[in-house]
């Protein structure tokens, strides 16, 4: 069962990267203070790819489908929030 949620998690991560980069290009700020600080020193795309690949690997390794499902719900909310920010900035 975890493979299904892991695939969904990876798709949601791709959507998060795209919506986050779009919002940043439009003038938005990163809401996560840890990532915002990293973005000051490193390329946002690189930071997001590394953190998301690491998260996906940890979820695969741990094989905890409930945690993966909970993170899918969380990232769905993040993506919807990003869309709202993009809509307001247009």
**29-64 pLDDT per residue, tens:** 999 999 999 999 999 999 999 999 999 999 999 999
CA 6 to chain centre: 13
Q: Where are the beta strands (DSSP E) in 35-75?
A: none
- CA–CA separation, 45 vs 78, rounded Å? 17
- CA–CA separation, 67 vs 44, rounded Å? 26
pTM reported for the whole predicted model: 0.93
Closest CA to 17 of 84, 70, 82: 82
Given a contact cutoff of 8 angstroms between Cβ atoms, the answer to whether 8 and 72 are in contact is yes
Average pLDDT of span 4-30: 97
- CA–CA separation, 74 vs 80, rounded Å? 10
Higher pLDDT, residue 77 or 1: 77
Q: Which helix (H) or strand (E) holds 27?
A: none
pLDDT at 56: 97
If you average pLDDT over every residue of the chain, what do you get?
Answer: 96
Q: Check pLDDT > 90 for residue 2.
A: no
Name all contacts of 29-36 with Cβ < 8 Å and 24+ positions apart: 31/81
């Amino acid at each position: 069962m975890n493979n299904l949620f892991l695939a969904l998690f990876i798709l949601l991560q791709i959507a998060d990267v795209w919506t986050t980069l779009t919002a940043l290009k439009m003038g938005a700020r990163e809401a996560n203070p840890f990532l915002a600080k990293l973005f000051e020193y490193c390329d946002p795309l690189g930071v997001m790819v590394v953190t998301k690949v690491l998260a996906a690997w940890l979820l695969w390794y741990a094989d905890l489908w409930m945690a993966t499902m909970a993170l899918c719900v969380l990232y769905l909310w993040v993506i919807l929030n990003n869309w709202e920010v993009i809509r307001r900035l247009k």
